[in-house]
Structure 1
């Protein structure tokens, strides 16, 4: 069975706000990112034309939908990508230095901070602007008895040029009583954060790679 595209439409009676121009150009830009995105956007265009025919609506009415919701929907599809194989093949990424005895589920939660704005959560694979600060914490049971280590791996031309591709392990920082990791996003590209929980020199849990896309 083919997976049906998800479309969220929002109607706005105000005209003359360049909705059509913005939608078309955004759609083209998103379609160029990936073949799946191109198919996704084409499904929307087909649905839009069908809506115009069935309900005798003009193009301005049917194109008045939420740009942010469309982009977020595309981002949701990218969250399911398995980044593990990609980053494990990087020659500069360090191998874990502890014996691995995976018994606990570990999940990373992330927030970004901008001056004058409240912290906002974001998900793996979501695009973030360059130059803002990020904070990572993990969710797992009985964390107090474990040490938490973070592996940060950068990719992309800007990080390579600055010799900041990294791939090392880092200690946690105490932030608001939690063991966390703070990072500043300075280089465009895809960057990855992984969390390891360790007790008595043995790793009992490891998160999936959390992907941060900086543009």
Structure 2
């Protein structure tokens, strides 16, 4: 009985949070399918984003692919399908880097190649920083290197407000004249996805 009550409370909180999801800054851009979802820095954000996209029910699971490390082993990762967008979730993790058996320097080198190829292919690049302050660090840290490798080259930015307290993403958006959507919490990422892929 207690377990059932806790589950009902959790669902109630989730529903209320989604209902009052706060989005500010620029309106979400119109999404295109299919897209490749990946992460920069080997943090857990990529898998978290994949789950939130599924839970949003805005698109089918077959409308996008998830690949944690494009171009690490296969040079054709970005052309596996007729992708329209590259959706990159930024955030580094020492545990994730260790599990992949690579250094942050090797990861940044891969990210540089990924961005260069995405630009050459004409993919629309979306950079999302959805884990907030937890995935920010001192200059030169793995988190900041991951941000610097992706965000300045994005066509659209999605950022949790607590990850932008120093205005870094605002500055990047202004310098590159790209839209920036700010969300209050990670769970609000679902609402951005719903707006991006809503039917006309």
Say whether the fold is shared (TM-score over 0.5). Answer: no
Q: Which has the higher strand share?
A: 1
Give TM class, smaller chain: under 0.3
* TM-score with structure 1 setting the length: 0.25
* Bigger radius of gyration among the two: 1
* TM-score with structure 2 setting the length: 0.26
